[in-house]
Amino acid sequence: MPLDIPDVVIDRLPVYYRLLCDLHATGIAVVSSQELGDALGITPAQIRKDLSYFGRFGKQGRGYAVARLTEELRQILGLDRRWRVVLIGVGRLGTAIASYRGFDPQGFDIVAIYDANPEAVGTQLGGLTVHPAELLARDLDERPADIGIVAVPADAAQDVIDTLVRAGVHAILNYAPIAAHVPPHVQVRQIDPVLALQGMTYHLRRYGADASSRA
Amino acid sequence: MPLDIPDVVIDRLPVYYRLLCDLHATGIAVVSSQELGDALGITPAQIRKDLSYFGRFGKQGRGYAVARLTEELRQILGLDRRWRVVLIGVGRLGTAIASYRGFDPQGFDIVAIYDANPEAVGTQLGGLTVHPAELLARDLDERPADIGIVAVPADAAQDVIDTLVRAGVHAILNYAPIAAHVPPHVQVRQIDPVLALQGMTYHLRRYGADASSRA
C-alpha cells in the first residue's frame, strides 16, 4: 500500500465507503464515478484520482463493482475489525456521545468512560459505569485502547490527551476547542462546530458581497 | 480578494485565527510561521503559503504582527459581524448544541430552535422556546437566517436541508450521518464522529502493521 497518500484523500474514503454501503444495501451492483460524484458533490475526476491511489478498481467506461470496492475500502480503512474506544468527559456532549448509536455498527466499541467530576463517577451511561478520571492511565495500562474520545472542558483537554498518548493511544477524537499537541505518530481529529461555522462564514461573506454588488 | 482559494486552505484559517486570538490575549505581539507551525502541527511553509493567498502579512525574517493578522483574518472569515443561526432537532445532540457556550463569543446567535416531536415543542432550551418543525419555512420567510444547524435523525435530515435551502439559508452544519445534497452555492460542513474515526483507523491499521512487522 502506498505510504504518502494526502490526508484529504484519506478523509474522503469514509464518505465513499458510507455511500457504497448504502448502494450495496439497495442492491446496486455497479456505479460510475459520475454517479458517485453527483451523490457526493465531488467531481468524478477527483473520485477516480482518489481511488487510483489504492489500485485499479474501475474498468474504463464500465464503472466500479460496488461489492468489491466496498470490501476493499473496508480493509483499507481498517473497518474489518473492531476498535476499543475510551471516552473521557460526560457533560452534555459526552453524554450525547456515549448514547450515540452510530459507533457500534461501524466497529467502534466504547469500552470505558471517565470523568473528573465526583458526582458523575459511578453513574451509568450507555451500559457502562463512569470511572474516576485519575484511573485512566492505570486502566489503559491493563487494558489498552485504540482510540480516545476527549469531551472534557478546554482547560483540561491537553492533560487528558497527554495521558492518552503516554498510555499508547494513537488516535484521538478531540471535541475540546483546543489545538491539541501530540507527537507525529498520533492521529488527532478535531470535532469543533465553531471552526466548521467559521469555514462557512468566509463563503457567506463573499456571497453576501456578491449579492449586494449585483443590487 | 482572490476567488479560487482551495477549501482546505479556507478550513485552516479558523484554526490560525483561534491560535492568534490566544496569542493576542496573552500579549504576544509577533509570531513566526515556525512558532505557529509548532503550535498547530502544520509546516511553516504551509502556513506561509496559506496566508499568502490573502496578501503580504509577514515580513521576511520578522514574523507576523499578531494584532494585525488577527484582525485581517477576522474580516476575511466574516467574523466582524454576528450571524443568525437556526437549530433543528433537540434530541441529546441538539440539546448539547443549544447549550454550547462556544457559539456566542464568536458571533453566532442561535435565534430559533425547531423539532418535529410534539413532546419537545414548547419546551425551553438555551433561553428559547422549541417551535414545531413545520413552522421552519414560514419563520425563515419572515425572519431570515444565515446558517442552519441540522441535528435531526438521518431519515429526516435531507427534508430539513431542502427546506433550509429553499428558504435561502446558504450555510448548513449537518450533524446527521448523511451526504447532504445541496445546490453548488450552498456550503455544507459535516460533523460526523464516525467519519472522523474512520479517517484515523486507516492510519492505526498501517501503524499496527508496522508494529507487528517490527516484532
Quote ipTM for the complex: 0.88
Domain assignment present for residue A205? The answer is: no
Contacts of B7 in chain A (CB under 8 A): 199
In this prediction, residue B209 carries a pLDDT of 38
Number of domains in chain B: 2
B162 within a domain of the structure (yes/no): yes
For residues A114 and A168, state if they share a domain.
yes
Rounded Cα gap, residues B168 and B78, in angstroms? 18
What span, in angstroms and rounded, lies between the C-alpha atoms of A142 and A139?
5
Which CATH number do you get for residue A125?
A: 3.40.50.720
Single residue among B76, B99, B120 that ends a domain in this structure: B76
Task: Give me the pLDDT at residue A55, please.
Answer: 76
What is the CATH number for B50?
1.10.10.10
Got the DSSP string for B76-107? HTT-SS-EEEEEE--SHHHHHHHH-TTSGGGT
User: Would an 8 Å CB–CB cutoff place B211 in contact with chain A?
Assistant: no
Mean pLDDT calculated for residue range B21-50? 92
CA dist B26 and B162 (Å) reads 44
In a domain, A199, yes or no: no
Q: Pairing mode, if any, of strands B128-132 and B147-150?
A: unpaired
Regarding whether B119 and B63 lie in a shared domain, the answer is no
Cα angle for residues B191, B193, B197 (degrees, 5° grid): 135
DSSP strands (E only) in B14-137 = 30-31, 58-59, 63-65, 83-88, 108-115, 124-125, 128-132
Cβ contact B198–A97 (<8 Å):
no
Residue of A85, A181, A193 lying closest to B173 (CB–CB): A193
Cell of A26: 439497495
pLDDT digits 0-9 by tens, A2-57: 557 888 889 899 999 999 999 999 999 999 999 999 888 888 999 999 998 887 76
Chain A CA closest to residue B2:
A206
Residue A212 pLDDT level (bands cut at 50, 70, 90): very low
Element (DSSP H or E) covering residue A81: none
- Give the pLDDT confidence score for residue B172 in this predicted structure: 97
pLDDT value at A214 more than 60 = no
| Contact in structure between A197 and A176 (CB atoms under 8 Å) | no
Three-class SS state of A101: coil
> Taking a contact as any Cβ pair under 8 Å apart, which residues of chain B between 53 and 82 contact chain A?
76-79
C-alpha atoms less than 13 angstroms from C-alpha of B199 in its C-beta half-sphere: 21
Residue A200 lies in a domain: no
Nearest-Cα distance to chain A for B18, in Å, is 9
Residue B202 is assigned to a structural domain of this protein: no
Contact B199 A147 (CB under 8 A): no
Amino acid A138: pLDDT: 97
What confidence tens digit (pLDDT) does each residue in A96-150 have? Answer: 999 998 899 999 999 999 999 999 999 999 899 999 999 999 999 999 999 999 9
* Residues B59 and B121 both lie in one domain: no
Q: Do B198 and A17 touch (CB under 8 A)?
A: yes
Residue at B140 is within a domain: yes
B175 lies in a domain? yes
Rounded CA separation A214/B166 (Å): 20
- B72 and B122 belong to one structural domain: no
B52-98 pLDDT, tens digit each: 888 776 666 688 999 999 999 999 999 999 999 999 999 989 999 99
List beta partners, residue A88: A114, A150
Domain carrying residue A34? 7-76
Instruction: Mark which of B76, B108, B137 sits at the end of a domain.
Output: B76
The pLDDT score that the predictor gives to residue A215 is 32
